[in-house]
Amino acid sequence: MNIVIWGAGGIGCYYGSRLINAGANVTFVARGKHLQALQAHGLTVKHPEFTFNGSVNAVDEATWLTQSSPENTDLVILCLKSTATGDALLRAKRWLQASQCYVLSLQNGVDNENQLCDIIESHRVLGGLAVRIGAHITQPGHIEATGIAKIIFGAWPNHSRQHHKSYTGHEFCQQLKILFTQALIDNHLNDNIQKEIWKKLLINAGVNPISALTELDTQTLTSDNVFSATVYQLMQETARAAHADGVEISSSDIDAMFELICGFDAIKTSMLVDFENRKPLELDAISGAVIQRCRSLNSPAYTTELIDQLLKTKINKCYG
Ligand SMILES: NC(=O)C1=CN([C@@H]2O[C@H](COP(=O)(O)OP(=O)(O)OC[C@H]3O[C@@H](n4cnc5c(N)ncnc54)[C@H](OP(=O)(O)O)[C@@H]3O)[C@@H](O)[C@H]2O)C=CC1
Ligand SMILES: CC(C)(CO)C(=O)C(=O)O
């Protein structure tokens, strides 16, 4: 299978290297010093149960979009930060429309797949999640990853044919499941991926902004009475927001996700890592998605709005 990893950072390089080991032909789209290192010295990935060290095919985005043939690509895996999705899709629109490839997002946030559906046929859009993984670039060309590193994925609901499954997407997902399994990627093909993505947002909206604000890891947050009650409230607001997308999250779903995050190891969230690295935070994709939808339902998400505002104030103070 010919696969493009679009945004070869922590997530993209970890899963991309696993796919190379299973025989896939992988192209990494990267930039800056990391791209230079990939081209000059190859990719090194370290995970407690997996190591990769070898040369890889790495290009910049302009080279990918101008010099590769859209017809020869089977799958693009979108691993950019959600903050980058909108502009990136505009740059790649012509290439994506000339291709018949499937596009799988492994990003956090609930709007990436909808943005993809604005550009390509929805049956080519696959929803996905990188779960129980922490993966980061430690130096150009080097990735460190931890966790079970599971992928949950599935065909995106095809709203234009509401009562039919998008069969081509489903068939491709079956092939992908075989490849993920060969690549020793723990995976789950899910029939209701939109709900799974919302359930992950419960966790991300529950802990990411408050961890970036307090600079505390997930375990410290959830073992503090006040912070954990706030996390639970943020999750309840996220479940309310899901209703605006026609996704129903029950109180037992909320409790299950809350228990899950309470049982996590002490994880430094990706938003805290981005804050420390002075990178753009996925705040609009995470808290913003909740705030907007709750406002549209005339039921404001006051706690999410407060944490979002406090964090934006902190960023302005720290970085101007
Ligand atoms: N990291 C993790 O452990 C987890 C991450 N996720 C989610 O997965 C997604 C990816 O996260 P992560 O891997 O951490 O992100 P990274 O920032 O590590 O990776 C994205 C990479 O894409 C590069 N990039 C951005 N724009 C372009 C471009 N135009 N052309 C080429 N390369 C580009 C970035 O370069 P540059 O650095 O120069 O911007 C960066 O190297 C996010 O939505 C995140 O929330 C989910 C679960 C866990
Ligand atoms: C690891 C986890 C679940 C913590 O919120 C995450 O997705 C992130 O850091 O973005």
Do 173 and 309 share a domain, yes or no? no
pLDDT in tens, 232-266: 999 999 999 999 999 999 999 999 999 999 998 88
Ligand nearest to the CA of 80: 1
Helix (H, G, I), strand (E, B) or coil at 283: helix
- Give the number of the ligand closest to the Cα of residue 221: 2
Q: Which residue's CA is the closest to the ligand 1 atom numbered 31? A: 30
| Angstrom distance (rounded) from CA 8 to CA 67 | 18
Position 160 confidence tier, pLDDT thresholds 50, 70, 90? low
Average pLDDT, the chain: 95
Q: Are 18 and 147 within one domain?
A: yes
What's the CATH code of the domain at 6? 3.40.50.720
**Mapping DSSP to helix (H, G, I), strand (E, B) and coil, where does residue 47 land?**
strand
Query: Measured from the CB, is residue 270 less than 6 Å from ligand 2?
Result: yes
Question: Which CATH number is 227's domain given?
Answer: 1.10.1040.10
| Res 166 pLDDT > 60 | no
Indicate whether 49 and 106 sit together in one domain.
yes
Same domain assignment for residues 115 and 9: yes
**Residue 157 confidence class, pLDDT cut points 50, 70, 90:** confident
Domain identity same for 41 and 166? yes
The last residue of one of the domains, among 140, 169, 191, is 191
Ligand 1 near 152 CB (within 6 A): no
C-alpha distances (whole Å) from 55 to each of 38, 44, 49, 304 are 7, 9, 20, 44
Which domain does 105 fall in, by range?
2-191
- State mean pLDDT over 118-136: 93
- Verify that 31 and 171 share a domain, yes or no: yes
ipTM of this model?
A: 0.97
Between the CA of 6 and the centroid of ligand 1 the distance, in Å, is 9
Ligand 1 site, residue 107, Cβ cutoff 6 A: yes
Beta bridge partners of 142: 44, 139
For the Cβ of 282 lying below 6 angstroms from any atom of ligand 1, the answer is yes
Closest residue to atom 1 of ligand 2, CA basis: 269
Q: How many domains does the chain have?
A: 2
Distance (Å, whole) CA 144 – CA 44: 9
Distance of CA 16 to the CA centre of its chain: 14
From 175, 191, 207, the end of a domain falls on 191
| Per-state percent for the chain, helix, strand, coil, to nearest 5 | 55, 20, 25
Buried b (16+ CB within 10 A) or exposed e, 221-257: bbeeeebbebbbbbbbbbbbbbebbebebeeebbeeb
Q: Is 90 exposed, middle or buried (0-12, 13-18, 19+ CB in 10 A)?
A: exposed
Both 92 and 149 in a single domain?
yes
Quote the CA–CA distance of 202 and 149 in Å, as a whole number.
19
The finding on whether 113 has its CB within 6 A of some atom of ligand 1 is no
For the stretch 201-212, what's the b/e string if a residue is b when 16 or more beta carbons lie within 10 angstroms of its beta carbon?
bbbbbbbbbbbb
Q: Which ligand is nearest to the CA of 152?
A: 1
Claim to verify: residue 178 and residue 249 sit in the same structural domain: no
- Both 199 and 211 in one domain: the answer is yes
Q: Determine the residue of 202, 227, 234, 270 to mutate for testing ligand 2's pocket, defined as the one with the most ligand atoms within 8 A of the Cβ atom.
A: 270
Domain boundary among 191, 212, 232: 191
Domain match, 160 and 231 both? no
Same domain, 186 and 99: yes
The ligand 1 atom at the shortest distance from the C-alpha of residue 79 is 10
User: In terms of domains, do 303 and 203 share one?
Assistant: yes
Collapsed DSSP state (helix, strand, coil) of residue 131: strand
Distance 225 CA to ligand 1 centre (A): 33
- Residues 181-190: what's their mean pLDDT? 98
